[in-house]
């Protein structure tokens, strides 16, 4: 089976190889990360000082909207699908994904979706300007004409995610090597299995809600138009029924990544493997019954308010279990602090801080003060940036030597880590303060009492952005001229992926390995 | 900006100095605004209490968990010659750290539930005020008193575009504040006319979404007279950041005086509808009305925002039949952002603004409308 990749552009266009597709997902995700980052920097530049300096409010709203959409659907989700593509077949001892042609299709529709979304910036009336949560009727009756392109872009992204998920589930359930029972699977595989089910459950809900918008805009229905007997609050219920599980879709695979990395560098097996699996499943279940905590101020009756408050607080329990397990895994280990470990430790600490502010937000009466302020912005950036993004970066450093057969530059990796770590804390920590002091989110200009912290946050944002250039540099330099890596790469890491050569051959596990 | 940068620098070096006196630390916290406001009502203070309570629980848990983490990171490192143990399971530990957080959650949920139930008790109010969110201003309707008015941003564009120094209440000031009596339970009935807004005054800890087709309820009871400021808290389009809320709480006697004055104003305004105005009077008045109500979308130069808000300069409506123009202003254009201004502006204001739009920016139609014509249109004649 000495059969390598095809040559030239068609290799990438026609490929059904999980490694090629994984790489394309990851590069695509990084491109979107930079694009979304540029949008974020426009926002931070405008907010550097009070007053309107750089952009008009109309364009500012387009930036907040596009930043959110591109980061959530373009950067974080495809990155995790890319990691799944690369790692799941190698982790379960399968030769490839179960449905390789669909795999090609689910990647290749993404560039079209995002080209369509990005093209709205150049349309008359501008890009979507109603926030990434696109609440009706601002996103229907009052939307710019480009909203239709936004709707179709979301449809395509959803189709891509659903196909990706089906593929992942089919691979995990059918293609494990003999002897690899479910409870022997690496935790990254477990978290992705659960995530894939979440995706299949909620992406159709998202497709439903944007289709209802399409109907309202073009075909005279009134799902969300009060004047026609519709209900603007219905939009929020449907959106958040998708939106809350979506949050966990972006964080569960991250849990999986750090659960792979911490044991390797603590040189000690993961503590509480079974409880990790149960905790992940509980979080996934709870994610379906907490959606209205995003809507504490819409005027739901007190009984509903209490239910959603209690259910939301309950999420702290399984999440806490995970954090305690990671800490105990480190305890009495023999730790070293290579770049992937640094990012993973920062993940545990900063994600916990995001979890704390999440717990505060769960208290419904207190949420009346927090809701729609910068405190919320601080909260979800703390769970998404050092949460999702840091875990993706950690995974890249951890598995890059396996992917390309070369070792990255450790010093540069550590510099990248510290710049990113400092930059993100300077950016997002002050947002807690301005939020508590009363600054609403999504405003292009603010009272002078918020000026100092906004200036600090803007400086941090540019530092964080600059640090990512170093990351790109390091990755490219590794691929081109890094030192050769061994098959194991790290010291006795656990998992089937370390039993194959570095770089991993184009086809791995054509003969299934034996798992004891 | 340079001054602010200097202050930032001083702040970064300053913590050591600050720690010396507790008082100056408290002052500094106040100055920098790092915490939630305690507010001026019993409810806002209870919410502040809940906030601090859960905050300290989080700090406590954080200190323990991060403490263990840092201890292990310092002690159990390979560079120090640490040998890895191999333990990886303990049902006892798992049960402990499942049950303990659960108990802490119950301790937090009990007071939160009590406060929430109180917040939801909107019964037995002394006064009802209907609040309606519009793009981008608030309408306050004293239902029983037959008094209603709009409240919109009064910060001049020169401050926003950095041509004039910014005042202390920059973006938190309005032309006409909401006035409420102290020591009375005031109930707010909150709704919206176009998109979703949210009415938020941090000092009262009242934040409620204003949703078209729904009427939400909230309430407050303010002890001390004062001026309290807030902002719209739900993204509502272009000028979401420019629709503040200002509430003036005054003793009851002063409130009653104010209400009577407002009622007298309304009668006087009604009388003006019968009056015939000259073209110049209408044009001058129209320019003011336009700046306050129309310029946000159609822009001060009448050119609108291409693709989003149509321009009026040389537009078919402004250069077309005068009755159609009147009709668009009074009844709006359904299914678009063009609101029906018939209920928002007086007959005099509508007449003035239509006159202005037909003659400004080189439209030069030369015609004008009298308030009585607008009244006839509103009455369907």
Half-sphere exposure of A478 (CA within 13 A, CB side): 26
CATH no. for residue B366?
A: 1.10.760.10
Q: Is the dihedral of CA A267, A509, A257, A470 positive or negative?
A: positive
CATH no. for residue B182?
A: 2.60.40.420
| pLDDT at position B28 | 64
Examine residue A68 and state whether it is found in any structural domain, yes or no: yes
Would an 8 Å CB–CB cutoff place A267 in contact with chain B? Answer: yes
- Mean pLDDT (whole number) for B70-99: 91
| pLDDT at position A183 | 95
Say yes or no: B137 and B242 in one domain. Answer: yes
Examine residue A516 and state whether it is found in any structural domain, yes or no: no
The radius of gyration computed from the CA coordinates of chain A, to the nearest angstrom, equals 22
- Mean pLDDT (whole number) for A359-388: 96
Examine residue B300 and state whether it is found in any structural domain, yes or no: yes
Examine residue A11 and state whether it is found in any structural domain, yes or no: no
Say yes or no: B80 and B196 in one domain. Answer: no
Mean pLDDT check: name the lowest of B34-43, B87-96, B201-210, B342-351. Answer: B342-351
Mean pLDDT check: name the lowest of A168-182, A300-314, B223-237, B354-368. Answer: B354-368
Residue B72 CB contacts under 8 Å (≥ 6 apart), including other chains? A327, A330, A331, A332, A333, A335
Per-residue pLDDT of A35-67, as tens digits, reads: 999 999 999 999 999 999 999 999 999 999 999
Examine residue A4 and state whether it is found in any structural domain, yes or no: no
Per-residue pLDDT of B135-146, as tens digits, reads: 999 999 999 988
Examine residue A512 and state whether it is found in any structural domain, yes or no: no
Examine residue B222 and state whether it is found in any structural domain, yes or no: yes
Per-residue pLDDT of B195-204, as tens digits, reads: 999 999 999 9
Q: How confident is the model at residue B20 (pLDDT cuts 50, 70, 90)?
A: very low
- Mean pLDDT (whole number) for A481-509: 93
Q: How many domains does chain B have?
A: 4
Residue B280 has a CB neighbour count (10 Å cut-off) of: 10
| pLDDT at position B29 | 63
Mean pLDDT check: name the lowest of A80-89, A188-197, A277-286, B357-366. Answer: B357-366
* pLDDT more than 90, % of chain B: 58
Q: How confident is the model at residue B76 (pLDDT cuts 50, 70, 90)?
A: very high
SS3 A154: helix
Examine residue B293 and state whether it is found in any structural domain, yes or no: yes
Say yes or no: B281 and B362 in one domain. Answer: yes
User: Is a pLDDT exceeding 60 seen at residue A327?
Assistant: yes
Q: How far apart are CA B190 and CA B130, in angstroms?
A: 6
Range of the domain at B317: 273-378
- Mean pLDDT (whole number) for B172-190: 96
Contact (CB<8Å) B87/A332: yes
Q: How confident is the model at residue A455 (pLDDT cuts 50, 70, 90)?
A: very high
Say yes or no: B234 and B282 in one domain. Answer: no
- Interface confidence, given as ipTM, is 0.92
- Mean pLDDT (whole number) for A99-117: 96
Give the bridge partners for B249, in sequence order.
Answer: B180, B226
Q: How many domains does chain A have?
A: 1
Examine residue B37 and state whether it is found in any structural domain, yes or no: no
Cβ pair A305, A296 in contact under 8 A: yes
| pLDDT at position B81 | 87
Range of the domain at A109: 18-499
Nearest to A313 among B61, B97, B109 (CB): B109
Find where tokens 């509103």 sit.
Answer: B378
Query: Residue B137 region, left (φ>0) first, then alpha (ψ -120 to 50), else beta?
Result: beta
Q: What is the 3-state secondary structure (H, E, C) of A69-110?
A: HHHHHHHHHHHHHHHHHHHHHHHHCCCCCCCHHHHHHHHHHH
Say yes or no: B300 and B252 in one domain. Answer: no
User: Is a pLDDT exceeding 60 seen at residue B12?
Assistant: no
User: Is a pLDDT exceeding 50 seen at residue A1?
Assistant: no
Provide the token pair at A472. Answer: 């790109």
Contact (CB<8Å) B202/A275: no
Q: How far apart are CA B157 and CA B292, in angstroms?
A: 11
Examine residue B35 and state whether it is found in any structural domain, yes or no: no
CATH no. for residue B115?
A: 1.10.287.90
CB pairs under 8 A between A and B: 311
Would an 8 Å CB–CB cutoff place A52 in contact with chain B? Answer: yes
Q: How confident is the model at residue B10 (pLDDT cuts 50, 70, 90)?
A: low
Domain boundary (B90, B119, B148) is at B119
Say yes or no: B143 and B62 in one domain. Answer: no
- Chain A residues whose CB is inside 8 A of the B51 CB are 360, 363, 366, 369
Q: How far apart are CA A176 and CA A188, in angstroms?
A: 14
Find where tokens 């905050």 sit.
Answer: B55
Cβ pair B178, B251 in contact under 8 A: no
Q: How confident is the model at residue B372 (pLDDT cuts 50, 70, 90)?
A: confident
Q: How confident is the model at residue B61 (pLDDT cuts 50, 70, 90)?
A: very high
Examine residue B362 and state whether it is found in any structural domain, yes or no: yes
Q: Is the dihedral of CA A17, A33, A195, A254 positive or negative?
A: positive
Provide the token pair at B181. Answer: 């009596």
Distance from CA of A107 to the nearest CA of B (A): 33
Contact (CB<8Å) A345/B50: no
Say yes or no: B135 and B246 in one domain. Answer: yes
| pLDDT at position B6 | 56
- Mean pLDDT (whole number) for A481-494: 93
Per 3-state DSSP, chain B is made up of helix, strand and coil in percentages (nearest 5) of 50, 20, 35
User: Is a pLDDT exceeding 70 seen at residue B15?
Assistant: no
Examine residue B160 and state whether it is found in any structural domain, yes or no: yes
- Mean pLDDT (whole number) for A484-493: 94
Average model confidence (pLDDT) across chain A: 95
Q: How far apart are CA B37 and CA B30, in angstroms?
A: 10
Say yes or no: B103 and B143 in one domain. Answer: no
* Annotated catalytic residue within A20, A246, A305, A497: A246
| pLDDT at position B300 | 87
Say yes or no: B166 and B230 in one domain. Answer: yes
Provide the token pair at B112. Answer: 């939160």
Q: How far apart are CA A372 and CA A442, in angstroms?
A: 8
Q: How confident is the model at residue B17 (pLDDT cuts 50, 70, 90)?
A: very low
Phi and psi, residue A466, nearest 5°: -65, -35
Examine residue B217 and state whether it is found in any structural domain, yes or no: yes
Per-residue pLDDT of B275-321, as tens digits, reads: 888 888 889 889 989 988 888 889 888 888 887 788 898 888 888 88
Task: Name the residue in chain A with its Cα closest to that of B218.
Answer: A299
| pLDDT at position B273 | 81
Say yes or no: B253 and B146 in one domain. Answer: yes
Per-residue pLDDT of B148-175, as tens digits, reads: 999 999 999 899 999 999 999 999 999 9
Contact (CB<8Å) A359/B234: no
Closest CA to B217 of B225, B227, B226, B207: B207
Cβ pair A381, A387 in contact under 8 A: no
Say yes or no: B221 and B335 in one domain. Answer: no
| pLDDT at position B26 | 63
Looking at residue B180, what DSSP letter applies? E
Residue B317 has a CB neighbour count (10 Å cut-off) of: 18
Closest CA to A169 of A273, A76, A94: A94
Residue B2 has a CB neighbour count (10 Å cut-off) of: 6
| pLDDT at position B53 | 94
* Annotated catalytic residue within A19, A155, A176, A293: A293
DSSP letter for each residue of A296-316: TTS---HHHHHHHHHHHHHTH
| pLDDT at position A3 | 65
SS3 A277: helix
Average model confidence (pLDDT) across chain B: 88
Query: Residue B296 region, left (φ>0) first, then alpha (ψ -120 to 50), else beta?
Result: alpha
Say yes or no: B132 and B253 in one domain. Answer: yes
Mean pLDDT check: name the lowest of A280-289, B53-62, B368-377. Answer: B368-377
CATH no. for residue A141?
A: 1.20.210.10
Question: What is each CA distance from B304 to B136, B297, B334, in whole angstroms?
Answer: 16, 6, 19
């Amino acid at each position: 089976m000495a059969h390598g990749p095809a040559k030239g552009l068609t290799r990438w266009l026609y490929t059904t190889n999980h490694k090629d597709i994984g790489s394309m997902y990851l590069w695509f995700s990084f491109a979107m990360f930079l694009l979304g980052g540029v949008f974020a920097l426009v926002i931070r530049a405008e907010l550097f000082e009070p007053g309107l300096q750089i952009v008009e409010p109309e364009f500012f709203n387009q930036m907040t909207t596009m930043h959110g959409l591109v980061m959530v659907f373009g950067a974080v989700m495809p990155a995790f699908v890319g990691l799944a593509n690369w790692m799941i077949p190698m982790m379960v001892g399968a030769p490839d994904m179960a449905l390789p042609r669909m795999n090609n299709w689910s990647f290749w529709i993404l560039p079209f979706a995002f080209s369509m979304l990005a093209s709205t910036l150049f349309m008359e009336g501008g890009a979507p300007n109603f926030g990434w949560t696109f609440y009706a009727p601002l996103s229907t009756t009052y939307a710019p004409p480009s909203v239709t392109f936004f709707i179709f872009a979301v449809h395509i992204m959803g189709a891509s995610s659903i196909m990706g998920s089906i593929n992942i589930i089919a691979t995990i359930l059918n293609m494990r090597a003999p002897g690899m029972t479910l409870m022997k699977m690496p935790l990254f595989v477990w978290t992705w299995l659960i995530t894939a089910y979440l995706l299949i459950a909620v992406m159709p809900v998202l497709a439903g809600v944007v289709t209802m918008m399409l109907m309202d805009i073009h075909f005279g229905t009134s799902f969300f138009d009060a004047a026609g007997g519709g209900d603007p609050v219905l939009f929020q219920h449907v959106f958040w029924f998708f939106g809350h599980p979506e949050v966990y879709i972006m964080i569960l695979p991250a849990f999986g990544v750090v659960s792979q990395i911490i044991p390797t560098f603590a040189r000690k097996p993961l503590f509480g493997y079974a409880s990790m699996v149960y905790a992940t499943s509980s979080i996934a279940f709870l994610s379906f019954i907490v959606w209205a905590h995003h809507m504490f101020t819409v005027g739901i009756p007190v009984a509903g308010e209490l239910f959603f408050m209690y259910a939301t607080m309950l999420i702290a329990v399984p999440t806490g279990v995970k954090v305690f397990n990671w800490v105990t895994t480190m305890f009495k280990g023999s730790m070293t602090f290579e770049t992937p470990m640094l990012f993973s430790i920062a993940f545990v600490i900063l994600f916990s801080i995001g979890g704390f502010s999440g717990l505060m937000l769960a208290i419904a009466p207190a949420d009346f003060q927090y809701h729609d302020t910068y405190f919320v912005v601080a909260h979800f950036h703390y769970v998404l940036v050092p949460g999702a993004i840091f875990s993706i970066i950690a995974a890249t450093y951890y598995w890059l030597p396996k992917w390309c057969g070369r070792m990255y530059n450790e010093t540069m990796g550590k510099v990248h880590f510290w710049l990113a770590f400092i930059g993100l804390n300077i950016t997002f920590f002050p947002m807690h303060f301005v939020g508590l002091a009363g600054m609403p989110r999504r405003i292009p200009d603010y009272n002078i009492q918020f000026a100092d912290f906004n200036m600090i946050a803007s400086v941090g944002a540019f530092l964080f952005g600059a640090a990512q250039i170093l990351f790109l540099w390091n990755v490219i330099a590794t691929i081109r001229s890094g030192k050769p890596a061994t098959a194991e790469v790290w010291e006795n890491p656990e998992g089937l992926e370390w039993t194959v050569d570095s770089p991993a051959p184009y086809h791995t596990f054509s003969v299934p390995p034996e798992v004891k | 900006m340079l001054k602010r940068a200097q202050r930032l620098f001083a702040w970064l070096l300053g913590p050591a100095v600050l720690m010396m006196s507790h008082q100056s630390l408290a002052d500094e916290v106040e100055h920098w605004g790092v915490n939630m406001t305690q507010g001026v009502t019993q409810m806002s203070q209870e919410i502040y209490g809940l906030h601090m309570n859960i905050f300290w629980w989080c700090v406590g848990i954080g200190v323990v968990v991060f403490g263990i983490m840092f201890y292990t990171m310092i002690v159990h490192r390979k560079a120090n010659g640490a040998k890895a143990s191999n333990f990886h399971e303990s049902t006892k530990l798992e049960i402990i750290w499942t049950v303990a957080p659960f108990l802490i959650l119950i301790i937090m949920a009990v007071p939160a539930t009590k406060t929430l139930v109180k917040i939801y008790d909107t019964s037995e109010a002394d006064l009802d005020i209907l609040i309606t969110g519009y793009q981008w201003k608030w309408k306050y309707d004293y239902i029983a008193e037959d008094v209603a008015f709009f409240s919109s941003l009064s910060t001049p564009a020169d401050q926003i575009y950095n041509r004039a120094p910014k005042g202390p209440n920059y973006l938190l000031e309005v032309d006409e504040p909401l006035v409420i009596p102290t020591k009375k339970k005031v109930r707010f009935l909150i709704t919206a006319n176009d998109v979703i807004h949210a009415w938020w005054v941090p000092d009262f800890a009242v934040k409620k979404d204003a949703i078209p087709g729904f009427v939400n309820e909230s309430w407050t009871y303010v002890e001390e007279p004062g001026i309290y400021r807030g902002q719209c808290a739900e993204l509502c389009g272009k000028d979401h950041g420019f629709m503040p809320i200002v509430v003036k709480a005054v003793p009851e006697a002063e409130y009653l005086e104010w209400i009577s004055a407002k009622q007298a104003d309304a009668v006087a305004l009604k009388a003006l509808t019968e009056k015939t105005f000259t073209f110049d009077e209408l044009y001058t008045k129209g320019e003011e009305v336009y700046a306050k109500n129309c310029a946000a979308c159609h822009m001060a130069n009448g050119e609108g925002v291409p693709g989003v808000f149509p321009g009026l300069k040389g537009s078919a409506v402004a250069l077309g039949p005068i009755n159609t123009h009147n009709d668009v202003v009074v009844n709006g254009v359904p299914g678009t952002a063009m609101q029906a201004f018939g209920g928002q502006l007086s007959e005099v204001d509508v007449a003035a603004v239509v006159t202005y739009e037909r003659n400004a920016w080189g439209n030069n139609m030369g015609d004008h409308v009298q308030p009585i014509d607008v009244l006839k249109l509103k009455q369907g004649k």
